A = this chain, B = another copy of it.
Amino acid sequence: MISFELSDQQQQIKEMTHWFAENEIRPIAMEADKQEKVPDDWLDKVNKMGIHLNTSSFSGGGDKDSSGKKAKKEREGNRMGVLATEEMAWGDPAVTLSLPGAGLGGPPVESSGTPEQKERFLSIFKNDEPRWGAYALTEPDAGSDASAIRTTATKVDGGYILNGQKIFITNGACASWVVVFATVDASLGRSGQRAFVVEKGATGFSCSRLAEKMGLRANETAELVFEDCFVPQENLLGGEALYETSGSKPSGFQVAMKTFDSTRPIVAAMAIGIARAAYEYTLDIVKHDYPKQGDFFRMASELLGECEQDIAAARLLTWEAAWKADLGLANAKEAAMCKAHAGKTGLDICAKCLELLGPTGLDGHLVEKLYRDVKVFDIFEGTNEIQHLVIARRQYAPHGIRV
Protein backbone atom coordinates (compact mmCIF):
# COMPACT_ATOMS: atom_id res chain seq x y z
CA MET A 1 0.00 0.00 0.00
CA ILE A 2 1.25 3.44 -0.90
CA SER A 3 2.30 5.18 2.28
CA PHE A 4 4.45 8.09 3.35
CA GLU A 5 4.49 7.28 7.02
CA LEU A 6 7.77 6.41 8.63
CA SER A 7 8.16 3.06 10.34
CA ASP A 8 9.10 3.17 14.01
CA GLN A 9 12.69 2.52 13.17
CA GLN A 10 12.70 5.20 10.48
CA GLN A 11 11.09 7.69 12.80
CA GLN A 12 13.61 6.89 15.47
CA ILE A 13 16.67 7.41 13.31
CA LYS A 14 15.20 10.60 11.89
CA GLU A 15 14.68 11.99 15.36
CA MET A 16 18.04 10.90 16.60
CA THR A 17 19.96 12.32 13.67
CA HIS A 18 17.95 15.52 13.81
CA TRP A 19 18.80 15.90 17.45
CA PHE A 20 22.44 15.38 16.68
CA ALA A 21 22.37 17.77 13.73
CA GLU A 22 20.67 20.46 15.72
CA ASN A 23 22.72 20.19 18.87
CA GLU A 24 26.12 19.10 17.65
CA ILE A 25 26.52 19.95 13.98
CA ARG A 26 24.69 23.20 13.38
CA PRO A 27 26.38 25.07 16.23
CA ILE A 28 29.81 24.67 14.61
CA ALA A 29 28.71 25.13 10.99
CA MET A 30 29.61 28.78 10.44
CA GLU A 31 32.87 28.64 12.35
CA ALA A 32 34.02 25.46 10.60
CA ASP A 33 33.36 27.14 7.25
CA LYS A 34 35.45 30.11 8.32
CA GLN A 35 38.30 27.96 9.61
CA GLU A 36 37.98 25.70 6.56
CA LYS A 37 38.24 22.80 8.95
CA VAL A 38 36.17 20.74 11.34
CA PRO A 39 37.84 20.98 14.77
CA ASP A 40 39.80 17.87 15.80
CA ASP A 41 38.37 17.76 19.29
CA TRP A 42 34.85 17.85 17.90
CA LEU A 43 35.65 14.95 15.58
CA ASP A 44 37.14 13.08 18.47
CA LYS A 45 34.09 13.69 20.58
CA VAL A 46 31.53 12.57 18.00
CA ASN A 47 33.65 9.59 17.10
CA LYS A 48 33.52 8.52 20.73
CA MET A 49 29.75 8.90 20.54
CA GLY A 50 29.85 6.38 17.71
CA ILE A 51 28.50 8.73 15.03
CA HIS A 52 29.77 7.73 11.60
CA LEU A 53 28.89 8.57 8.06
CA ASN A 54 28.14 5.45 6.14
CA THR A 55 26.59 6.19 2.80
CA SER A 56 25.33 2.73 1.99
CA SER A 57 23.15 2.37 5.01
CA PHE A 58 23.50 4.90 7.69
CA SER A 59 24.60 3.62 11.05
CA GLY A 60 24.16 5.91 13.96
CA GLY A 61 24.68 5.29 17.63
CA GLY A 62 27.23 2.63 16.95
CA ASP A 63 24.81 -0.20 16.24
CA LYS A 64 24.76 -2.07 12.96
CA ASP A 65 21.26 -2.37 11.73
CA SER A 66 21.42 -3.68 8.22
CA SER A 67 22.85 -7.13 8.69
CA GLY A 68 21.90 -10.31 10.44
CA LYS A 69 18.37 -9.37 11.38
CA LYS A 70 15.72 -12.02 11.35
CA ALA A 71 14.53 -13.13 7.97
CA LYS A 72 11.31 -11.96 6.22
CA LYS A 73 11.62 -8.49 7.66
CA GLU A 74 11.54 -5.87 4.90
CA ARG A 75 14.92 -4.25 4.44
CA GLU A 76 14.80 -0.53 5.06
CA GLY A 77 18.45 0.42 5.18
CA ASN A 78 18.29 2.70 2.17
CA ARG A 79 15.23 4.52 3.41
CA MET A 80 16.85 4.95 6.80
CA GLY A 81 19.98 6.15 5.07
CA VAL A 82 18.29 8.94 3.17
CA LEU A 83 16.23 9.99 6.17
CA ALA A 84 19.29 10.19 8.37
CA THR A 85 21.44 11.92 5.76
CA GLU A 86 18.86 14.62 5.12
CA GLU A 87 18.84 15.46 8.80
CA MET A 88 22.61 15.49 9.13
CA ALA A 89 23.10 17.68 6.06
CA TRP A 90 20.40 19.95 7.41
CA GLY A 91 22.77 20.49 10.33
CA ASP A 92 25.64 21.19 7.95
CA PRO A 93 26.79 19.36 4.85
CA ALA A 94 30.50 20.07 5.14
CA VAL A 95 30.61 18.85 8.71
CA THR A 96 28.49 15.83 7.78
CA LEU A 97 30.83 14.89 4.97
CA SER A 98 33.72 15.16 7.42
CA LEU A 99 32.23 12.72 9.89
CA PRO A 100 34.41 9.71 10.54
CA GLY A 101 33.52 6.57 8.65
CA ALA A 102 33.96 4.83 5.34
CA GLY A 103 32.09 7.59 3.49
CA LEU A 104 31.79 7.06 -0.23
CA GLY A 105 34.46 4.38 0.04
CA GLY A 106 32.01 2.19 1.93
CA PRO A 107 29.65 1.13 -0.85
CA PRO A 108 32.28 -0.34 -3.21
CA VAL A 109 33.90 -2.28 -0.38
CA GLU A 110 30.53 -3.54 0.79
CA SER A 111 29.25 -4.43 -2.64
CA SER A 112 32.42 -5.84 -4.17
CA GLY A 113 34.88 -6.63 -1.38
CA THR A 114 35.70 -10.16 -0.30
CA PRO A 115 34.53 -11.09 3.20
CA GLU A 116 38.10 -10.70 4.36
CA GLN A 117 38.35 -7.23 2.82
CA LYS A 118 35.06 -6.12 4.32
CA GLU A 119 36.25 -7.20 7.73
CA ARG A 120 39.69 -5.66 7.32
CA PHE A 121 38.59 -2.28 5.94
CA LEU A 122 35.20 -1.72 7.50
CA SER A 123 36.04 -2.75 11.04
CA ILE A 124 38.58 0.01 11.59
CA PHE A 125 35.97 2.65 12.35
CA LYS A 126 36.21 2.40 16.11
CA ASN A 127 35.70 4.75 18.99
CA ASP A 128 39.36 5.11 19.88
CA GLU A 129 40.11 7.65 17.21
CA PRO A 130 38.34 9.07 14.14
CA ARG A 131 39.13 7.31 10.88
CA TRP A 132 37.93 7.78 7.32
CA GLY A 133 37.59 5.86 4.10
CA ALA A 134 37.60 7.55 0.72
CA TYR A 135 36.71 6.98 -2.91
CA ALA A 136 39.02 8.05 -5.75
CA LEU A 137 37.65 7.89 -9.25
CA THR A 138 37.92 11.34 -10.85
CA GLU A 139 41.12 12.41 -12.60
CA PRO A 140 42.22 15.74 -14.05
CA ASP A 141 41.19 14.52 -17.50
CA ALA A 142 38.36 12.18 -16.56
CA GLY A 143 35.41 13.75 -14.84
CA SER A 144 31.99 12.70 -16.06
CA ASP A 145 33.60 10.14 -18.35
CA ALA A 146 34.67 7.59 -15.78
CA SER A 147 35.70 5.17 -18.49
CA ALA A 148 38.55 7.47 -19.47
CA ILE A 149 40.67 7.12 -16.34
CA ARG A 150 44.38 6.93 -16.96
CA THR A 151 45.80 5.81 -13.64
CA THR A 152 47.62 2.60 -14.42
CA ALA A 153 47.90 -0.59 -12.43
CA THR A 154 50.78 -2.81 -13.50
CA LYS A 155 50.74 -6.39 -12.33
CA VAL A 156 53.87 -7.32 -10.43
CA ASP A 157 54.81 -10.08 -8.13
CA GLY A 158 52.45 -10.05 -5.15
CA GLY A 159 50.39 -7.11 -6.29
CA TYR A 160 50.16 -4.07 -8.52
CA ILE A 161 52.06 -0.85 -9.08
CA LEU A 162 49.83 2.22 -9.40
CA ASN A 163 50.76 5.39 -11.24
CA GLY A 164 48.52 8.35 -11.73
CA GLN A 165 46.64 11.23 -10.18
CA LYS A 166 43.20 11.63 -8.63
CA ILE A 167 41.33 14.85 -7.89
CA PHE A 168 38.33 16.03 -5.90
CA ILE A 169 38.72 13.27 -3.31
CA THR A 170 36.54 13.88 -0.26
CA ASN A 171 38.56 13.20 2.92
CA GLY A 172 41.29 11.92 0.64
CA ALA A 173 44.20 13.13 2.77
CA CYS A 174 42.92 12.06 6.17
CA ALA A 175 41.55 8.70 5.01
CA SER A 176 42.99 5.47 6.37
CA TRP A 177 42.31 3.89 3.02
CA VAL A 178 41.10 4.99 -0.39
CA VAL A 179 39.28 2.95 -3.01
CA VAL A 180 41.26 3.79 -6.14
CA PHE A 181 40.20 2.99 -9.68
CA ALA A 182 42.92 2.22 -12.18
CA THR A 183 43.34 0.42 -15.47
CA VAL A 184 45.49 -2.63 -16.11
CA ASP A 185 45.31 -2.02 -19.84
CA ALA A 186 43.84 1.17 -21.27
CA SER A 187 43.23 -0.54 -24.59
CA LEU A 188 40.70 -2.83 -22.92
CA GLY A 189 38.53 0.15 -22.04
CA ARG A 190 36.11 -0.42 -19.22
CA SER A 191 36.90 -4.06 -18.78
CA GLY A 192 40.51 -3.18 -18.01
CA GLN A 193 39.56 -1.26 -14.92
CA ARG A 194 40.23 -2.47 -11.40
CA ALA A 195 39.42 -1.12 -7.96
CA PHE A 196 42.11 -1.16 -5.28
CA VAL A 197 42.14 -0.25 -1.66
CA VAL A 198 45.22 1.87 -1.07
CA GLU A 199 46.16 2.35 2.53
CA LYS A 200 47.48 5.48 4.10
CA GLY A 201 51.26 5.51 4.29
CA ALA A 202 51.71 3.25 1.29
CA THR A 203 54.97 4.08 -0.42
CA GLY A 204 54.43 6.28 -3.45
CA PHE A 205 50.99 7.41 -2.30
CA SER A 206 50.70 11.05 -1.28
CA CYS A 207 48.41 14.02 -1.17
CA SER A 208 49.79 16.73 -3.42
CA ARG A 209 47.34 19.46 -2.54
CA LEU A 210 44.06 20.34 -0.88
CA ALA A 211 41.57 22.14 -3.10
CA GLU A 212 40.19 25.55 -2.20
CA LYS A 213 36.51 25.61 -2.96
CA MET A 214 33.43 27.77 -3.37
CA GLY A 215 31.75 25.94 -0.53
CA LEU A 216 31.99 22.84 1.64
CA ARG A 217 35.10 24.59 2.87
CA ALA A 218 35.22 22.75 6.16
CA ASN A 219 35.46 19.46 4.31
CA GLU A 220 38.75 18.23 2.96
CA THR A 221 39.01 17.77 -0.81
CA ALA A 222 42.32 16.25 -1.79
CA GLU A 223 44.43 15.71 -4.84
CA LEU A 224 46.16 12.35 -4.61
CA VAL A 225 49.26 11.19 -6.41
CA PHE A 226 50.41 7.63 -7.01
CA GLU A 227 54.04 7.28 -8.00
CA ASP A 228 55.07 3.66 -8.38
CA CYS A 229 52.77 2.92 -5.50
CA PHE A 230 52.75 -0.76 -4.64
CA VAL A 231 49.40 -2.27 -3.69
CA PRO A 232 49.45 -5.83 -2.40
CA GLN A 233 47.36 -8.46 -4.15
CA GLU A 234 44.97 -8.75 -1.23
CA ASN A 235 43.96 -5.12 -1.70
CA LEU A 236 42.53 -5.70 -5.17
CA LEU A 237 38.87 -5.16 -4.39
CA GLY A 238 36.97 -8.42 -4.73
CA GLY A 239 40.15 -10.30 -5.58
CA GLU A 240 41.14 -11.57 -9.04
CA ALA A 241 38.08 -13.80 -8.96
CA LEU A 242 35.73 -10.84 -9.32
CA TYR A 243 37.28 -9.79 -12.59
CA GLU A 244 37.39 -13.24 -14.11
CA THR A 245 33.87 -14.44 -13.52
CA SER A 246 32.27 -13.65 -16.87
CA GLY A 247 34.67 -12.32 -19.42
CA SER A 248 34.27 -8.62 -20.01
CA LYS A 249 31.29 -7.93 -17.79
CA PRO A 250 32.44 -7.17 -14.24
CA SER A 251 35.27 -4.71 -13.93
CA GLY A 252 36.41 -1.87 -11.80
CA PHE A 253 34.16 0.26 -13.96
CA GLN A 254 31.16 -1.78 -12.93
CA VAL A 255 32.20 -1.50 -9.31
CA ALA A 256 32.39 2.25 -9.72
CA MET A 257 29.06 2.50 -11.50
CA LYS A 258 26.94 0.18 -9.43
CA THR A 259 27.63 2.13 -6.27
CA PHE A 260 26.01 5.21 -7.82
CA ASP A 261 22.54 3.73 -7.56
CA SER A 262 22.85 3.69 -3.82
CA THR A 263 25.00 6.79 -3.32
CA ARG A 264 22.99 9.13 -5.55
CA PRO A 265 19.91 9.03 -3.31
CA ILE A 266 22.22 9.77 -0.38
CA VAL A 267 23.72 12.74 -2.20
CA ALA A 268 20.22 13.89 -3.15
CA ALA A 269 19.20 13.62 0.50
CA MET A 270 22.10 15.88 1.44
CA ALA A 271 21.05 18.49 -1.11
CA ILE A 272 17.53 18.28 0.28
CA GLY A 273 18.83 18.74 3.82
CA ILE A 274 20.74 21.84 2.73
CA ALA A 275 17.77 23.30 0.88
CA ARG A 276 15.52 22.60 3.82
CA ALA A 277 17.95 24.29 6.18
CA ALA A 278 17.93 27.42 4.00
CA TYR A 279 14.17 27.29 3.67
CA GLU A 280 13.46 26.84 7.37
CA TYR A 281 15.96 29.51 8.35
CA THR A 282 14.32 31.97 5.99
CA LEU A 283 10.77 30.95 6.83
CA ASP A 284 11.58 31.58 10.46
CA ILE A 285 12.77 35.11 9.75
CA VAL A 286 9.81 35.83 7.50
CA LYS A 287 7.42 34.52 10.14
CA HIS A 288 8.87 36.52 12.96
CA ASP A 289 10.16 39.74 11.45
CA TYR A 290 8.22 40.45 8.31
CA PRO A 291 4.71 41.79 7.77
CA LYS A 292 1.85 39.32 7.24
CA GLN A 293 0.22 41.22 4.42
CA GLY A 294 1.10 43.38 1.47
CA ASP A 295 3.61 42.98 -1.32
CA PHE A 296 6.41 41.46 0.66
CA PHE A 297 4.12 38.87 2.18
CA ARG A 298 2.85 37.89 -1.24
CA MET A 299 6.36 37.63 -2.66
CA ALA A 300 7.45 35.56 0.32
CA SER A 301 4.42 33.28 -0.04
CA GLU A 302 5.22 32.69 -3.67
CA LEU A 303 8.93 32.08 -3.19
CA LEU A 304 8.62 29.98 -0.06
CA GLY A 305 5.75 28.05 -1.62
CA GLU A 306 8.00 27.12 -4.51
CA CYS A 307 10.86 26.21 -2.19
CA GLU A 308 8.76 23.92 -0.08
CA GLN A 309 7.20 22.29 -3.13
CA ASP A 310 10.57 21.49 -4.65
CA ILE A 311 11.90 20.15 -1.39
CA ALA A 312 8.90 17.85 -1.09
CA ALA A 313 9.26 16.79 -4.73
CA ALA A 314 12.95 16.01 -4.33
CA ARG A 315 12.30 14.13 -1.14
CA LEU A 316 9.57 11.97 -2.62
CA LEU A 317 11.79 11.11 -5.58
CA THR A 318 14.59 10.24 -3.17
CA TRP A 319 12.36 8.08 -1.03
CA GLU A 320 11.19 6.24 -4.10
CA ALA A 321 14.76 5.52 -5.19
CA ALA A 322 15.64 4.29 -1.69
CA TRP A 323 12.46 2.23 -1.43
CA LYS A 324 13.26 0.49 -4.69
CA ALA A 325 16.78 -0.24 -3.50
CA ASP A 326 15.45 -1.73 -0.30
CA LEU A 327 13.18 -4.00 -2.31
CA GLY A 328 16.04 -5.02 -4.54
CA LEU A 329 14.41 -3.42 -7.59
CA ALA A 330 16.41 -1.67 -10.31
CA ASN A 331 16.52 1.98 -9.33
CA ALA A 332 19.07 3.63 -11.62
CA LYS A 333 16.42 5.87 -13.19
CA GLU A 334 14.95 6.93 -9.88
CA ALA A 335 18.39 7.46 -8.38
CA ALA A 336 19.26 9.74 -11.27
CA MET A 337 15.94 11.56 -11.04
CA CYS A 338 16.25 12.41 -7.39
CA LYS A 339 19.86 13.46 -7.76
CA ALA A 340 19.10 15.65 -10.79
CA HIS A 341 16.14 17.32 -9.16
CA ALA A 342 17.60 17.78 -5.70
CA GLY A 343 20.91 19.03 -7.07
CA LYS A 344 19.35 21.64 -9.30
CA THR A 345 16.57 22.86 -7.06
CA GLY A 346 18.88 22.94 -4.06
CA LEU A 347 20.61 25.94 -5.58
CA ASP A 348 17.36 27.54 -6.73
CA ILE A 349 15.97 27.28 -3.23
CA CYS A 350 19.03 28.80 -1.60
CA ALA A 351 18.94 31.64 -4.15
CA LYS A 352 15.26 32.33 -3.42
CA CYS A 353 15.98 32.42 0.28
CA LEU A 354 18.82 34.88 -0.28
CA GLU A 355 16.47 37.04 -2.33
CA LEU A 356 14.08 37.12 0.59
CA LEU A 357 16.80 37.94 3.09
CA GLY A 358 17.96 40.87 0.98
CA PRO A 359 21.34 42.61 1.47
CA THR A 360 21.33 41.67 5.14
CA GLY A 361 21.74 38.06 4.08
CA LEU A 362 25.29 38.85 3.01
CA ASP A 363 26.41 39.48 6.56
CA GLY A 364 27.03 36.30 8.54
CA HIS A 365 23.84 34.43 7.70
CA LEU A 366 23.80 30.67 7.33
CA VAL A 367 21.99 30.76 3.98
CA GLU A 368 24.87 32.26 2.02
CA LYS A 369 27.07 29.46 3.26
CA LEU A 370 24.48 26.89 2.21
CA TYR A 371 24.29 28.54 -1.20
CA ARG A 372 28.04 28.05 -1.62
CA ASP A 373 27.83 24.50 -0.31
CA VAL A 374 24.92 23.24 -2.36
CA LYS A 375 26.20 23.98 -5.85
CA VAL A 376 28.52 20.98 -5.96
CA PHE A 377 25.63 18.63 -5.28
CA ASP A 378 24.55 19.26 -8.85
CA ILE A 379 28.03 18.23 -9.96
CA PHE A 380 29.63 15.43 -7.98
CA GLU A 381 28.48 11.80 -8.09
CA GLY A 382 27.50 12.59 -11.68
CA THR A 383 26.62 16.04 -12.99
CA ASN A 384 23.07 17.02 -13.73
CA GLU A 385 23.84 16.34 -17.38
CA ILE A 386 24.97 12.79 -16.58
CA GLN A 387 21.78 12.22 -14.58
CA HIS A 388 19.72 13.32 -17.56
CA LEU A 389 21.66 10.90 -19.70
CA VAL A 390 20.99 8.04 -17.29
CA ILE A 391 17.27 8.87 -17.15
CA ALA A 392 17.02 9.17 -20.93
CA ARG A 393 18.84 5.89 -21.37
CA ARG A 394 16.31 4.10 -19.17
CA GLN A 395 13.44 5.93 -20.81
CA TYR A 396 14.47 4.76 -24.26
CA ALA A 397 15.54 1.27 -23.27
CA PRO A 398 12.11 -0.29 -23.97
CA HIS A 399 12.40 1.06 -27.51
CA GLY A 400 15.63 -0.75 -28.03
CA ILE A 401 17.86 2.24 -28.53
CA ARG A 402 20.78 3.40 -26.48
CA VAL A 403 21.20 7.16 -26.27
Contact = CB atoms under 8 A, between A and B. Distances in A.
A83 B298 CA distance: 39
A295 B295 CA distance: 8
A391 to B, nearest CB: 18
Contacts of A298: 295, 298
A392 to B, nearest CB: 15
Nearest to A301: B295
A295 B298 CA distance: 7
Nearest to A295: B298
Interface in A290-309: 295, 298
**Copies of this protein chain in the complex:** 2
Q: Which size bracket describes the interface of A in this complex?
A: under 10
A295 B299 CA distance: 10
Nearest to A299: B298
Nearest to A294: B298
A363 to B, nearest CB: 28
A298 B293 CA distance: 12
A278 to B, nearest CB: 23
Contacts of A295: 298
A111 to B, nearest CB: 38
Nearest to A298: B298
A295 B294 CA distance: 8
Interface string A273-303: 0000000000000000000000100100000
Interface string A297-337: 01000000000000000000000000000000000000000
Interface in A162-194: none
2 contacts: A295-B298, A298-B298
